[in-house]
Amino acid sequence: MECKILDGKKVASEVRERIAVMVKEIRESGKVPPGLAVVLVGDNPASKVYVGQKEKACKEVGFESFLYHLPEATTQEELLNLVGQLNEDPNVHGILVQLPLPKHLNETEVIEAIRPEKDVDGFHPMNLGKLVAGLPCTVPCTPKGIMHLLEYYGIEIEGKNAVVVGRSNIVGKPVAHLLLQKNATVTICHSRTRNLEDITKEADILVVAAGRPHFITQHMVKKGAVVVDVGINRLESGLVGDVDFDGVRLRASWITPVPGGVGPMTIAMLLENTLEMYERFS
């Protein structure tokens, strides 16, 4: 059986086109357009790349984007002050603080300072709590993008064994809950999991967000599985995911490539979340 590609690049561009049409109508009606504020602290090269992509994506769909690039030496108080100011700014509908922050800053406290109505990442405990409770909330972009991609390609979730490798608050845990809501039987694995491959081999749907290049190999995957690779690893040979694509595609029925899989969906969902918050709260 031929393995098919979950084409995040294509699906994301369709989402962006739809958003661009809606923003055009908003602008033509003379209203304030949706605005996204991105806060970057320090000079982490990977973060700078991501922030650049986000700005470009905003411009393309017609959003206002406000970039705050603060020096590495920014204090917690200065960062909290900026967040407080953005919370009050009527032109800002979404606030994204790029993670990771430099080590001297308290990430949890910064995220909690963002008004939940402007928490475009869905990382605020109020949004994460609502997600777990199955209430309407802002869903984190990467997990939302994964679900959108599965839905687009008609991948059935109900009753399937879904295995998530990774338990971060931004990817692993929320995607596990979204799969659970769609009635999958969900297993979450992490660095203390024993006999990982015995578990991954049972997965009908395998989502991998471990941050380890080529971590999931062919023999860890069940024949016909749907494999979603969230990993972004920059090696000298280029950008690779957490899944050994060339090996695993010989067994899987569907697979996301890296690049061109989950990454572009994350950006598209960031735009979608910004527009949703604009419509709900402005």
Ligand X SMILES: Nc1nc(=O)c2c([nH]1)NC[C@@H]1CN(c3ccc(C(=O)N[C@@H](CCC(=O)O)C(=O)O)cc3)C=[N+]21
Q: Which residues here bind ligand NDP, judged by CB under 6 A?
A: 142, 165-168, 170-172, 189-193, 196, 209-212, 230-233, 262-263, 266
From the CB of 49, what's the least distance to ligand X, in Å? 5
From the CB of 105, what's the least distance to ligand NDP, in Å? 17
| Upstream peptide bond of 174 is cis (omega within 30 degrees of 0) | no
| Residue 19 is labelled as binding a ligand | no
Per-residue mark of binding to ligand X, 240-259 (x: CB under 6 A) = ------------------xx
Task: Please give the angle made by the CA atoms of 45, 47 and 48, to the nearest 5 degrees.
Answer: 65
Tell me how far apart the alpha carbons of residues 101 and 104 are, in angstroms, rounded to a whole number.
8
Measured CA distances, 106 to 123, 164, 222 (Å): 14, 27, 41
Tell me how far apart the alpha carbons of residues 109 and 97 are, in angstroms, rounded to a whole number.
12
Record the tokens describing residue 135, joined without a space.
Answer: 């209430």
Binding of ligand X by 260 (CB under 6 A):
yes
Greatest extent of the chain over all pairs of C-alpha atoms, in Å: 59
Which among ligand NDP, ligand X, none contacts residue 269 (Cβ within 5 to 8 A by kind)?
Answer: none
Q: Given the DSSP bridges, would you call strands 254-255 and 233-235 parallel, antiparallel or unpaired?
A: unpaired
Share in percent of the chain as helix, strand, coil (round to 5)? 45, 15, 40
Of 123, 128, 129, the closest CA to residue 110 belongs to 123
Tell me how far apart the alpha carbons of residues 230 and 261 are, in angstroms, rounded to a whole number.
8
Q: Is 98 a catalytic residue?
A: yes
From the CB of 78, what's the least distance to ligand NDP, in Å? 25
From the CB of 161, what's the least distance to ligand X, in Å? 26
Q: What is the amino acid identity at position 20?
A: A
Catalytic residue among 98, 173, 182, 229: 98
| Residue 27 is labelled as binding a ligand | no
In the bound state with ligand X, the residue whose beta carbon lies nearer, of 119 and 204, is 119
Q: Is 198 a catalytic residue?
A: no
Contacts of 137 (CB under 8 A, 6+ apart): 122, 126, 127, 128, 130, 131
Which among ligand X, ligand NDP, none contacts residue 189 (Cβ within 5 to 8 A by kind)?
Answer: ligand NDP
Q: How many CB atoms lie within 10 A of CB 276?
A: 17
Binding of ligand X by 139 (CB under 6 A):
no
Rg of the chain in Å (alpha carbons): 19
Binding of ligand X by 233 (CB under 6 A):
no
From the CB of 231, what's the least distance to ligand NDP, in Å? 4
In the bound state with ligand NDP, the residue whose beta carbon lies nearer, of 59 and 190, is 190
Q: What is the amino acid identity at position 45?
A: P
Which among ligand NDP, ligand X, none contacts residue 97 (Cβ within 5 to 8 A by kind)?
Answer: ligand X
Q: In what helix (H) or strand (E) does residue 96 lie, and over which residues does it extend? A: strand 94-97
In the bound state with ligand NDP, the residue whose beta carbon lies nearer, of 95 and 228, is 228
Beta bridge partners of 61: none
In the bound state with ligand NDP, the residue whose beta carbon lies nearer, of 87 and 193, is 193
| Residue 192 is labelled as binding a ligand | no
Which among ligand X, ligand NDP, none contacts residue 121 (Cβ within 5 to 8 A by kind)?
Answer: ligand X
Q: Which residues are at the interface with ligand X (CB under 6 A)?
A: 49-50, 53, 96-99, 121, 141, 232, 239, 258-260, 263-264, 266-267
Q: Residues forming the annotated binding site for NADP(+)?
A: 166-168, 232
